[in-house]
Amino acid sequence: MKMVALSLMSLWGVLCICTSVHGIASQIELLAHVAINYPGELTCDVKWDCDCAFKQSDCCCGAKQLTALEDSTFQRMVTLWKRLEDLGMQTEALTDNIKIAFSASMAARADPFGPFTTNVPIPYTSIATNDGNGYNPALGVFTAPRPGVYSFSYTVYSNVKVLGDRLYHHIRLMKNGQTVASTWEDNREDAEDSGSQVVVLQLRRGSQVYMEMMSGRSLSGNDAGYNTFSGYLLYPNDED
């Protein structure tokens, strides 16, 4: 340990002297000369060839290990990239490269939507996405273009703006006329409220999914377009 400290101090001293006399190139040349002619034991498990270390990068102590690590990391990256490519090809084969997805919201309106004397589909007419053209904004209905497993989500929002006025909405997610999920609010304790649901459904070709508002209820204060309805194909499957 004492020998190592002395050798480092010797090299540092040489460098300090060099700095006041010569430029950086001279410092490197002098450091190389001192290292090559150093008579003591170098503190490294691998014996250094100092003459080589200043001329060829893979001669330096630790360089071979670092090079091996670099090669190993590169090979892992290549393997990972190949796996990602394979996954992409498998996904494309599974979905048959079919893109089915939609996202829509109710158009901003100052007046409430409803109430009505019957249950009515909710018109989400502001379309953000409609890949596959499965969603009909005029009817507010999604018709499955092909059989498969689909994910649907919705958010219902009301704001009566005045605390004490009645929040009174009740909507349902419907599949072929059958209730799948529902969200409702019936209180005077707060002026606004919202709720969301996510469902996964098995659909046949031509199955219809839509949002329905119950009779006598209303959606209030939709000036921010927070009422949304969306869905997409998770994966297709064969017709039963």
DSSP string, the chain: -HHHHHHHHHHHHHHHHHHHHS-HHHHHHHHHHHHHT--S--S-SSPP-HHHHTT-GGGSTTHHHHHHHHHHHHHHHHHHHHHHHHHHHHHHHHHTT---EEEEEPPP-SS-B---SS-EE----EEEEEETS-EETTTTEEE-SS-EEEEEEEEEEEE-SSBTBPEEEEEEEEETTEEEEEEEEEESS-SEEEEEEEEEEEE-TT-EEEEEEPTT--B---TT---EEEEEEEEE----
Q: Are residues 115 and 171 in the same domain?
A: yes
Task: Looking at the structure, tell me whether residues 9 and 111 fall in a common domain.
Answer: no
**Co-location of 112 and 184 in the same domain:** yes
Same domain, 148 and 209: yes
Find out whether the peptide bond into 115 is cis, omega within 30 degrees of 0: yes
Domain that holds residue 201: 101-236
Joined together, the tokens standing for residue 30 give 């002098």
Do both 148 and 41 map to the same domain? Answer: no
Tell which wins on pLDDT, 11 or 215. Answer: 215
For residues 57-74, average pLDDT = 68
**Residue 186: which of 203, 200, 169, 202 has the closest Cα?**
169
| pLDDT value, residue 87 | 81
17 shares its domain with 111: no
Tell me whether residue 87 is in a domain.
no
Q: Are 138 and 226 contained in the same domain?
A: yes
Would 26 be classed as within a structural domain?
A: yes
Question: Which domain-ending residue is among 10, 38, 61?
Answer: 61
The tally of domains found in the chain comes to 2
The pair of structure tokens assigned to 144 is 């499955």
Do 229 and 127 belong to one domain? yes
The residue with greater pLDDT, 144 or 63, is 144
Shared domain for 127 and 202, answered yes or no, is yes
Please give the Cα distance from 112 to 223 (Å, whole number): 10
Answer yes or no: is 20 within a domain. Answer: yes
pLDDT tens string 180-214:
999 888 776 777 778 899 999 999 999 999 999 99
User: Which segment, 19-28, 59-68, 159-168, is predicted with the most confidence on average?
Assistant: 159-168
Is 53 a member of any domain?
yes
**pTM beyond 0.85:** no
Region 163-179 average pLDDT: 85
Is 205 within a domain?
A: yes
132/219 same-domain check: yes
Pair (127, 196) in one structural domain = yes
**9 vs 157: CA distance, rounded Å:** 74
Indicate whether 8 belongs to any domain: yes
220 found inside a domain: yes
pLDDT tens digit string along 42-59?
555 555 555 555 555 555
**CATH code of the domain covering residue 204:** 2.60.120.40
Tell me the angle at which helices 2-21 and 24-36 cross, rounded to the nearest 10 degrees. 150
For residue 223, tell me if it sits in a domain: yes
Does the pLDDT at position 19 exceed 70? no
Short-list 182, 176, 229, CA closest to 201: 176
Pair (55, 157) in one structural domain: no
Output the pLDDT for position 60.
56
